[in-house]
Amino acid sequence: MSEVLIDQADVPTIGSRDLGYKVGEAARMVGVSAATVRVWEREGLIATSRSSSGYRYFGDEDLVRLRRVAYLRRVEKLNTAGIRRVLAEEGHDRPTPRKRREVALGPRLRKMRQERGQTLEQAAAAVGLSASFLSELERDQSGASMATLHRLLSYYGTTFAALLQRPSGRVARLKRAGRGRSVRNHGVTVEQLADGQALMEPQIFTVEPGAGSEGSYSHEGEEFVYVLEGSFEVVLNDQERYLLRDGDSLYYPSGVLHSWRNPGRSVARLIWVNTPPTF
């Protein structure tokens, strides 16, 4: 039996559409001109990848940084030195690429709404949100609880995992450590461990102390939770309370209302598997 060293589907290539957005696209999403983005790049405020033909590409995590730079420039009226100082204080002093591909939720949520032909007011009213809050969410200027995101995505007819999938739809057999696409929101990081049209939805959740779903939700299927480290609390039907610690696991039908949180003082990491992919 030959040893599988690497799955080529899991190796992103510079220049593939999956890798990110061209400078013009990124500029429009942030609300600045392409020329401004190029100036920020020259000033060292942002970094880009380039295709084999020399085109700039921005990943989802770059869009978050671009929006932050734009805010500091337009609203706070900071110059380049001031922006660098604030980014350094926030722990983002160097615009270096990250191994984990973080996904910006806002642009994807806006695209889903627009594809349904919905206005901000219509979509917000349908899921019990204000139009102003949904607008901020689509511009990555606000976060939302996992329960709220699940409600919004269900209304759009999709799942949280679909936001993290690569466009190719191909199932990659091998996933290298830290190479999964991920989302950070309200103290919770979700990393996707499988791409494509799989029957299972395996993810790694990293939950900060005190963070959680901030509400109950339910969906089709079954799910399995295994705690790698820390403590994790799951409540089923608003009455069954389970406190899990390192090495503990929980299996339950997704159709029951469930909520969860990290009640401890340290970060909790867990493997979470849904089947079918309905979360």
Q: For residue 184, what are the contacts with CB-CB under 8 A and spacing of at least 6?
A: 102
CA distances from 137 to 5, 55, 167 (A): 40, 29, 23
Q: Averaged over 20-32, what is the pLDDT?
A: 80
pLDDT computed for residue 71 by the predictor: 85
Residue 4's pLDDT is what? Answer: 36
Q: Is the pLDDT of residue 147 over 70?
A: yes
- Confidence check: pLDDT of 235 > 90: yes
Report the chain's mean pLDDT, rounded to a whole number: 79
Q: Are residues 60 and 84 in the same domain?
A: yes
Residue 50 scores a pLDDT above 70: no
Asked whether residue 182 falls in the same domain as residue 216, the answer is: yes
| Statement to judge: residues 154 and 174 lie in one domain | no
Query: Looking at residue 35, which CATH number applies to its domain?
Result: 1.10.1660.10
What integer is the mean pLDDT of 117-136?
Answer: 89
More confident residue, 8 or 36: 36
Confidence check: pLDDT of 1 > 50: no
Residue 237 banded pLDDT, cuts 50, 70, 90: very high
Predicted confidence (pLDDT) at residue 178 exceeds the cutoff of 80: no
Q: Are residues 264 and 202 in the same domain?
A: yes
160: which 2 tokens? 């949280």
What is the number of domains present in the chain? 3
Query: What pLDDT does 5 receive?
Result: 36
150 in any annotated domain: yes
Q: Which of 161, 181, 198 is the last residue of a domain?
A: 161
Q: Which helix (H) or strand (E) holds 137?
A: helix 131-138
Q: CA–CA separation, 31 vs 8, rounded Å?
A: 36
Give yes or no: residues 220 and 147 share one domain.
Answer: no
How large is the greatest C-alpha to C-alpha distance in the chain, in angstroms?
Answer: 62
Residue 102: pLDDT band (50, 70, 90) is low
Q: Give me the pLDDT at residue 153, please.
A: 85
Percent of the residues in the chain that have a pLDDT greater than 90, as a whole number = 21
Q: For residue 251, what pLDDT is reported?
A: 96
Domain that holds residue 201: 167-275
Q: Which of 243, 236, 203 is nearest to 218 (CA)?
A: 236
**Hey, what are 271's tokens?**
């493997």
CATH number for position 112: 1.10.260.40
**Mean per-residue pLDDT, 256-276:** 92
Domain end (from 63, 97, 131): 97
**Tokens 């695209």 correspond to what residue?**
111
Which comes out higher in pLDDT, residue 13 or 237? 237
Sheet containing strand 56-58, strands side by side: 21-22, 56-58, 49-50
Give the residue from 127, 146, 161 where a domain finishes. Answer: 161
| Residues whose CB is less than 8 angstroms from the CB of residue 74 and which lie 6 or more positions away in sequence, other chains included | none
* Residue 258, CA distances (Å) to 212, 219, 234, 272 in order: 11, 10, 7, 14
pLDDT in tens, 80-99: 888 888 887 776 554 444 44
Query: What pLDDT does 225 receive?
Result: 96
Strand partners, 57: 22, 49
Out of 56-60, 199-203, 206-210, 244-248, the most confident range is 244-248
| Look-up of token digits 């309905």 | 278
Query: For position 234, which CATH number holds?
Result: 2.60.120.10
Position 144 in a domain: yes
List the beta bridge partners of residue 253: 222
Contact indicator for 236, 277 with CB cutoff of 8 Å: no
- CA–CA–CA angle 160, 165, 167 (5° rounding): 135
Q: Is residue 102 part of a domain?
A: no
